[in-house]
Amino acid sequence: MVRHAALIEHFHALTDSWPAAHLLVTEDGEIVAANIAAQKLSGQERDTCVGKKLLDFVNNSPDDLLQYLHVCARNRRPMPGAISWRQTGNGPHEYHCQGFVVEPHSSDSSALVIIHCETKDEAGNKFIALNRKMEELEATYHELAARAEDLKSEIARRMRMEEKQRALEKQMYHVQKLESLGIMAGGIAHDFNNMLMAVLGNADLALADLDPWSPVRPFIEEIEKVSRRAADLCRQMLAYSGRGKFVVKTVNLSALLLDMAGMLEISVSKKAVLKFNCPENLPPIDSDPSQLRQIIMNLVINASEAIGDRSGVITVSTGAVECDRAYLAATFLDENLAEGLYTYLEVADTGHGMDGETKAKLFDPFFTTKFTGRGLGMSAVLGIVRGHKGGIKVYSEPGRGTTIKLLFPSVPDSLQEDMHEGPAGDGKWQGKGTVLLVDDDETVRAVGKQMLERLGFNVLTANDGSQGVASYREYTAEIDLVLLDLTMPHMDGEETFREMRRIHSGVRVILSSGYNEQDVTQRFAGKGLAGFIQKPYTLEPLRDTIQKAFEKTSRPPG
């Protein structure tokens, strides 16, 4: 249609001023356009002959006329002929004509032919001029055809760009959704950790003071037990947000997986067959082994539940793959992942599979297809993989099972030293001197103060970073250690630490937070941080952390 419209416009521009009749017709005789002279000759008002058959206006036999048009359509030069106009028209009846194809026949359109009509006396004089005009028209047609091809290519290019834009918008929405959920989960976990700090800390102090045979001891122990379970849920929420605690070591994924084989085999359904495909010479990864064990267990148990009461196979594989940008862009976690070598863990099952709607919600917190067992399983997997700077690919169709592939950046050699905690204390170490406890949560300050006093310290407290800096400035000589919360309003732990170092470069600071130890230690690398303890903590971990901080700086307390 684009070509015809442009061609008709050009036809009228060329021929409407000519005294000779000109018609633009299809190969089967339908009139597409007629100049003013042809309209007068046919006895029709302007444009009323368009869409009608040429046979309606001439005395030629249908066979002769169609044969003439077919010949014109299949030749690249003007073809002579004769047309006998009916009495309804004006002027002489018998005309010489020249037929010239301007648009050849194609698979989706008929050929277009221009017919030039003149009386016998005029024909000879204007034949040369007509040929010249026909050549111009042919050149115009080819120009329009080329422009149409360019337009077609441009439309296709823009459609591809729009499709790519829609894919990017969908991916951006997914990333923003995960980020929003992660921020929410991290914030909730932070607040709950502070509350659990008070519950677990006070329960721990109460148990330390109770006689073993006290009738209330079982109740306090139950409080402690449930508090630890709640703390574990908080850790899963932090894992989803990508801010869980990581103790990074260089790990061979195949070795870790085979070490878990026995535990995995007793965890799956008796109807499921568990297979392993784990090459030994696998590129290592820098990761937290305990977090890896958690996600492996989650994936295998999910695969077992997908198989249900039917017989099925679960295949756990490891390997390495070179990932380019296109491959990484198709993952659930394409957060500017670097191209390169990735070590993967893949868990495939022959279960019932998932539809697109289920896959889209797979990593939402608390989403489950099961009536029971709601939790943070797959969302925690996503958070742990995000924290390891990795990606996730999911392949699943209803009735065809599910395959989940986790990608972790490979390292050719160990690029990080193992972050060993060191030997634990014997539970008898006691400190002396003064500790400044800085935390914006009143319950944390209260239970933390009691723990520190139980360890033999005098305790000063501050309810935010600004007050902590002021107290440290006033009592610099007396303060032997600062126990500093990382996340506080107005002045956070990082800024507070920086201000204290300006007062005294040798300040001994232990950071306290529910967030990722790896991120914290990286942010404070080379700045003289004495230690880190994760909330919620109890008396013994606090004792060990403080003991190591004093031993690390080799300055006795007091």
- Domain extent listing, the chain: 2-118, 249-409, 434-553
- The residue with tokens 């005395």 is 59
CATH fold, domain 249-409, is Heat Shock Protein 90 (3.30.565)
Write the DSSP assignment of 271-310 as a string of letters: TEEEEEE--SSPPPEEE-HHHHHHHHHHHHHHHHHHHTTS
520 has a pLDDT exceeding 90 = no
Please compute the mean of the pLDDT values over residues 132-142 and round it to a whole number: 74
Q: What values do phi and psi take at 84, rounded to 5?
A: -110, 105
Across-strand partners of 481? 435
Please compute the mean of the pLDDT values over residues 109-127 and round it to a whole number: 70
Surface-to-core class of residue 502, CB atoms within 10 Å of its CB (0-12 exposed, 13-18 middle, 19+ buried): exposed
CATH fold, domain 434-553, is Rossmann fold (3.40.50)
Beta strands in 369-488 (DSSP E): 391-396, 402-409, 434-438, 458-462, 479-485
Q: Which of 443, 462, 428 is nearest to 539 (CA)?
A: 428
Give per-residue pLDDT as tens, 3-15.
577 888 888 888 8
- Look up the pTM and report it: 0.46
d(CA 538, CA 197): 8
Please compute the mean of the pLDDT values over residues 193-212 and round it to a whole number: 82
C-alpha dihedral (518, 519, 520, 524), degrees to nearest 10: 100
Architecture of domain 2-118: 2-Layer Sandwich (3.30)
Least confident residue range of 79-88, 215-224, 424-433, 524-533 = 424-433
Across-strand partners of 512? 485, 533
Helix (H) and strand (E) counts in the chain: 16, 17
Predicted pLDDT of residue 489: 84
Coil vs helix vs strand at 26:
strand
Above pLDDT 90, what percent of the chain? 18
Instruction: From residue 431, give the alpha-carbon distance in Å to each of 509, 531, 550.
Output: 15, 16, 9
For 202, half-sphere exposure in the C-beta direction (CA atoms, 13 angstrom radius) is 11
Contact 314, 349 (CB under 8 A): yes
d(CA 153, CA 156): 5
Least confident residue range of 365-374, 529-538, 542-551 = 365-374
Q: Which has more pLDDT, 80 or 334?
A: 80
Q: Which has more pLDDT, 375 or 269?
A: 269
Q: Which two tokens stand for residue 214?
A: 């006290």
Across-strand partners of 348? 315, 403
Give per-residue pLDDT as tens, 185-198.
666 666 777 788 87
Surface-to-core class of residue 241, CB atoms within 10 Å of its CB (0-12 exposed, 13-18 middle, 19+ buried): buried
Surface-to-core class of residue 42, CB atoms within 10 Å of its CB (0-12 exposed, 13-18 middle, 19+ buried): buried
Predicted pLDDT of residue 2: 54
Predicted pLDDT of residue 421: 44
Beta strands in 324-369 (DSSP E): 340-349
Coil vs helix vs strand at 334:
coil
Question: Residue 222 carries which DSSP code?
Answer: H
The confidence band for 557, taking pLDDT boundaries of 50, 70 and 90, is very low
Least confident residue range of 109-113, 216-220, 441-445 = 109-113
Q: Which two tokens stand for residue 231?
A: 């703390």
508 has a pLDDT exceeding 90 = yes
Give per-residue pLDDT as tens, 306-344.
888 888 899 999 999 998 888 888 787 656 788 889 999
d(CA 178, CA 480): 42
Give per-residue pLDDT as tens, 338-379.
888 999 999 999 888 888 777 777 776 555 555 333 344 677
- The residue with tokens 């599910």 is 402
Above pLDDT 70, what percent of the chain? 79
556 has a pLDDT exceeding 70 = no
Predicted pLDDT of residue 294: 79
Please compute the mean of the pLDDT values over residues 55-67 and round it to a whole number: 88
Q: Which has more pLDDT, 465 or 200?
A: 465
d(CA 534, CA 238): 12
Q: What values do phi and psi take at 126, rounded to 5?
A: -105, 5
Predicted pLDDT of residue 126: 55
